[in-house]
Structure 1
C-alpha cells in the first residue's frame, strides 16, 4: 500500500497601520497505514501558536479555509481544530466533490441551462445543522 502525502499550508496576516505583514508554514502529513485520507490537521495548535507569535500578539479572529472534509467529518474537525479560548475562530470548509447540480429552466425553449458563476444557493436544500451554502465558481 502506498503512503499518501497531504500538504497543509498555513498563512497568517497581520494588518497594521503601516501595511500587511505575513508569515507562513508548509507542513506535510501522511495517512496512517490503511487509511486513504487525512481530514484532521495534526498538531494544528502548534502551528497556530507559532504563527501568532510571529506578530508578538494574539489576533482577535482566525479564519480557517479548509478543503477535502467529508460531510460526516465536519463535527470531528470542529471538535479537534475548533477548540480555543482565544481568539474567535471561523472555519470555512470547501467541498468541491459533491453530487448536487443546479440548472435554470427556460420556459420558452423548455430547456435547462447552467447557472451563472457567482450564484449562491443558501436556502431549501442546505443542511439545517450549519451555515451552509453552495457557491457556483464556474
Structure 2
C-alpha cells in the first residue's frame, strides 16, 4: 500500500507525515510518497529568468527543500518512502500523482500554505476531500 502525503513545509503538513508514520508503526503495511507541488512559474519569473531549465531547477530544489523535514521523519522511523516534486495546480497534480502511483490513501494536513480565510480546512485539503476518488484523511495539527 502506498500513502500519498502532500508536504509544503508547514507544521500541518508535517503533522500529516507523523500521522502516516504512526499508521505504519501501528501495523499498516505501507510506504509513503511525499509530494511537494510547486506553482507554475509566474510572469515575473519568466521575465526575470529566461532559461526554462533554470526555472525547473529552482522549482525542484525549492520542493526538495520543503520535503527535507518529512524525509528526515521517514528516515528516523525507518519507513520506506519516495519523494516527488511536481509543478502545477496543487490539487490536480496531487490527484494525478496518486492515480499514477497507485496510492490507496491520501493523508493531508488541515491547513498549510493553501489556507483560505474563513475556512476550517485549507483550500487543498478541502478540494482533495471533494475531488479524490480514494480515501483522504485530514490531520489537524496539535500546535
How high is the TM-score relative to the length of structure 2?
Answer: 0.33
Bigger share in helix: 2
How high is the TM-score relative to the length of structure 1?
Answer: 0.34
Larger Rg: 1
**Which of 1 and 2 has higher RCO (CA within 8 Å, sep 6+)?**
2
